[in-house]
């Protein structure tokens, strides 16, 4: 392994890693929030809205992420949507992730006994208070593992952003490899970076699950 290559390209690789983290965190959290609202609207909203959300989820889940990214980045200008590569990457991540997160939250909602929700309505609780005080505390444990798994999937999906010239980790690694004609070392380091991201996400998910479980047991 030629260490001088990594000394020379180290700043570029670290910059790409920072962009990867930015797109992953902002895009994933945005998708998580949007997915939660979609699940709430699907669970408690009117029928026409439920059909719209159902269609949105089916279309996004049924098409590859790369195609969605191409449509937004290359097709956006034709309808007046001009985005930088990073902006297109983040928005695509939010759109792509939200249906999956919505389905995870929907499964959590369905795990709550319907009798508890009906009883809360009978005593006059609003739908918002039902979600925040009854549904959410009980659904957090069963959905923590699926949420963690999908966050891990999204860490690896960031590599696709390089196809629209987002200067993330894979893009910088490919640049290094093409300029130096070395391929094993750059992509080995790339694998290590992604492995660290996956391990960190997995450990964080386990910590959250343990703490949520302990909190529910104490209460």
Average pLDDT value for residue range 8-33: 92
Q: Which of 88, 56, 84 is nearest to 72 (CA)?
A: 88
Entry pTM: 0.87
The tens digit of pLDDT for each residue in 81-102 reads: 999 999 999 999 999 999 999 9
**What are 10's two structure tokens?**
């180290």
Q: Which of 147, 144, 40, 22 is nearest to 93 (CA)?
A: 22
Burial class (CB in 10 A: 0-12, 13-18, 19+), 104: buried
Question: Distance between CA atoms of 53 and 146, rounded to whole angstroms?
Answer: 21
Q: How many CA atoms lie within 13 A of 79 on its CB side?
A: 6
Q: Which residues contact 124 (CB under 8 A, 6 or more apart)?
A: none
**Do 17 and 166 meet the contact criterion of CB atoms below 8 Å apart?**
no
Q: What is the pLDDT of residue 28?
A: 94
The tens digit of pLDDT for each residue in 38-95 reads: 998 888 788 889 999 999 999 999 999 999 999 999 999 999 899 999 999 999 999 9
Question: Distance between CA atoms of 172 and 30, rounded to whole angstroms?
Answer: 25
Q: Which of 105, 100, 43, 104 is nearest to 68 (CA)?
A: 100
**Do 95 and 106 meet the contact criterion of CB atoms below 8 Å apart?**
no
Q: Which of 154, 155, 156, 161 is nearest to 68 (CA)?
A: 161
Question: Distance between CA atoms of 55 and 37, rounded to whole angstroms?
Answer: 15
The tens digit of pLDDT for each residue in 197-215 reads: 999 999 998 888 888 777 6
């Amino acid at each position: 392994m030629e260490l001088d290559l990594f000394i020379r390209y180290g700043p570029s690789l670290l910059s790409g890693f920072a962009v990867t983290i930015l797109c992953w965190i902002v895009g994933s959290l945005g998708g998580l929030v949007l997915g939660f609202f979609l699940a709430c609207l699907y669970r408690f909203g009117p029928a026409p809205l439920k059909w719209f959300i159902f269609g949105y989820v089916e279309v996004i889940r049924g098409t590859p992420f790369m195609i969605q990214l191409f449509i937004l980045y290359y097709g956006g200008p034709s309808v007046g949507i001009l985005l930088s590569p990073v902006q297109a990457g983040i928005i695509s991540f939010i759109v792509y992730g939200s249906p999956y997160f919505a389905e995870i939250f929907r499964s959590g909602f369905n795990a709550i006994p319907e009798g508890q929700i009906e009883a809360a309505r009978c005593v006059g609780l609003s739908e918002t208070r039902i979600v925040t005080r009854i549904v959410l505390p009980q659904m957090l444990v069963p959905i923590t593992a699926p949420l963690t798994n999908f966050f891990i999937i999204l860490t690896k999906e960031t590599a696709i952003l390089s196809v629209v010239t987002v200067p993330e980790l894979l893009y910088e690694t490919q640049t290094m490899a093409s300029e130096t004609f070395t391929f094993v070392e750059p992509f080995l380091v790339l694998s290590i970076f992604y492995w660290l991201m996956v391990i960190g996400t997995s450990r964080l998910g386990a910590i959250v699950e343990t703490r949520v479980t302990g909190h529910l047991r104490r209460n």
